[in-house]
A and B are shown apart, each in its own frame.
Chain A
Amino acid sequence: MGRVGIGLALAAFAVALTLPQFAGPFWMGLVTQMLIFGLLALSVDLLLGQTGLFSLCHASFFAVAAYTTAILQVRYAVPTLLAAPAGLVAGTLLALGFGLAVRTRGVYFILITIALGYIVWGVLHRWSSFTGGDNGVTNVPFPAVGELRIGSHTEYYYFVLAVVIACALVYRVLIASPFGLSLRGIKASETRTRSLGYRTGLHLYAAFVLSGLLASLAGVLYVYYNRFVNPVSASFPISVEATLMAIIGGSGTIAGPFIGSGIILGLRNWVSSFFELYATVMGVVFIATVLWAPDGIVGLVNRLRAARARRKAL
């Protein structure tokens, strides 16, 4: 990160801290959602941007974690201190199982993850005696630990912000570590990395499970924000959108997924309030991103800066 980058990050942080001072509750809610879905997009990008694996089942971990936490809190009155970690564990356990998909590569990996995602959606949808079917689970309380409890959406926003910043920092350490390096090595050339003595399969599996853990965290944050969850959160479009967020913002970067999440959610709420062909707009965004901005906004900005630097040098 250059000096400009640090400056930008600090400015963003300052804006984030003071945001509740000048934004109304609707925008605060939207920004909280952007952070949460940005985290989900970041989890997708741990695979996509670092290892090159394109998973379309991340909504599963997200939803299973959200459901676990919600059901424990609402139906069994389990306190947050247990219910939230239980959600993380459930989502991660699922990732441990689904992680076997890393035995496949390329298009097969894409297709098998689509199918796995549909299983989870189908179970949440159909096993209504336990999951509540279409109605899902409602009336999830705000998180509380003993006397400490979050009482408003603004307080919850700060909580989410803190978690997201912590995750971003850990993520940064992770990808800079030898493990992160080996993942990028696999992305560049798996055979070469393997010939260097790395057990690439195991590394990919570990990355998959970590990414599942991150998606589960987003799921737990989501259920406390939304206060309810239903099978839509496990559906295929959620997985696709999370991927698109990562790409549109800039795959392989930390800021990218959050920028992408801001753009997609902003667009959805803004466009759908006055324009009926909302799906067309989303579709065009998909197409345009792939064709003209495959490196996303962050890539676009970098290209711009590189061009300016070249001009200066001349």
Chain B
Amino acid sequence: MPGGGALPPGTSFPQHLALTMMTGAILQAINGVSLAALLFLLASGFTLTFGLMRVVNMAHGAYYLLGGYVGLSTVRATGSFALAIAAGGAAIVLLGYLVDRFLIRRTGENHLAQVLLTVGVAFVIGDIALKIWGGDSLKVHVPELLRGPMELPGGLVYPAYRFVLIFFSIVVGVLLWVLYRKTQIGAVVRAGVDDREQVSATGINVDRLFVIVSALASFLAGMSGVVGGAFLMLYPGAEWEILVYALVVVIVGGLGSLEGAMIGALIVGLLDAYGRWLLPEFSYFVLFAPMALLLLVRPRGLFGKDI
């Protein structure tokens, strides 16, 4: 073999190549899943608010970015990553409530108005964040413990933080699922997704329910900004990049479905990782074309209900 580079002892060249492909495939799988973990955190909030309130909130990406920035400043001030997650989430809960209460609420169920309004909100948030945190790409610092590589069996090396992220996302996913499927609140929310009039007719305070779910979605968005900012960085424009991915996730999974967001995130994450590995020039195509096709066949996505 020209150019040096030693083979592991006892392997021939084709064997070695197959081995490289194998490790490549495994690494890409983990890459895909870790991106999926982040996308799920962000998309679950988006899909829940849509499912219950029929609100399309294009400012969700801006929530992510702003939450991340607040977390970043918290880490800088206190050094605590856990506190940063809480602060990032809490800040967005407050902001999200104000935007909901004073802006989105006034659009009724006019999706067009919602889209324009929330795009406007995203512009304002992005611009103000640029003024405060500047145009550099900034990284949220994670604790020493979570930094650096982790050795896997078979000699694979992978960033420890990504595993923590995957684990964290699974925990959040399970909690959400339990909340959604197994608790009283969840039952009411599910009923609200299916038939809102009926729920208010039973005397449940739908407004309060909306506030709770919307606060949860805001918290998820702000929090994902902090955990995402630790490996994707925060910078002007990040809000739109991540929003597009999140949109694809909810479209593929089906608007309003938690399970759909999980599956959708996995599909998008894996398509992204394998697409960029195997067909680098067509990475956008690999991501968006299957989605467009799927929508033509199944306009409601994989798990979406008729609305």
List of A residues within 8 angstroms of B122 by Cβ:
283
The residue of chain A having its C-beta at the shortest distance from the C-beta of B55 within the complex is A107
CA–CA, A48 and B131, complex, Å: 35
Interface of B is mostly: helix
Q: Which residues of B contact A103 (CB under 8 A)?
A: 296, 299
Decide if B151 is an interface residue (CB 8 Å cutoff): no
**B65 in the interface (beta carbon within 8 A):** no
Question: Which of chain A's residues has its CB closest to B56's CB?
Answer: A107
Interface string of A78-107 (1 = CB under 8 A from B): 000000000000000000000011011011
Q: Chain A contacts of B288 at CB under 8 A?
A: 115-116, 118-119, 122
**Is B284 an interface position by the 8 A CB rule?**
yes
Chain B: CB-nearest residue to A114: B247
Which residues does A use to contact B, with CB under 8 Å? 48, 54, 56, 100-101, 103-104, 106-108, 110-112, 114-116, 118-119, 121-123, 125-127, 236, 240, 243-244, 247, 276-280, 282-287, 289-291, 294
A280 near B296: Cβ-Cβ < 8 Å: no
Q: Is B160 an interface residue (CB 8 A)?
A: no
CB distance from B249 to the nearest CB of A (A): 11
Give the interface size bracket for B toward A: 35 or more
Q: Does B103 contact A (CB under 8 A)?
A: yes
| Most chain A CB atoms below 10 A, which of B54, B124, B283, B291 | B124
Expressed in whole angstroms, the minimum distance between the Cβ of B97 and any Cβ of chain A is 17
Contact indicator A119/B123 (Cβ below 8 Å): no
Q: Counting CB contacts under 8 A, is B251 at the interface?
A: yes
Chain A: minimal CB distance from B298 (Å): 10
Contact A119 B116 (CB under 8 A): no
How far apart are B263's CB and chain A's nearest CB, in angstroms?
Answer: 17
| Chain B, range 36-90, C-beta contacts under 8 Å to A | 50, 54, 56
Q: B127–A280 contact, CB under 8 A?
A: yes
A126, B284: Cβ atoms closer than 8 Å: yes
- B74-114, CB < 8 A from A: 103, 106-107, 111-113
Q: Is B238 an interface residue (CB 8 A)?
A: no
A residues in contact with B107, CB < 8 Å: 290
Contact B127 A279 (CB under 8 A): yes
Q: In the complex where A54-B111, A108-B299, A118-B244 touch, is A283 in contact with B123 (Cβ < 8 A)?
A: yes
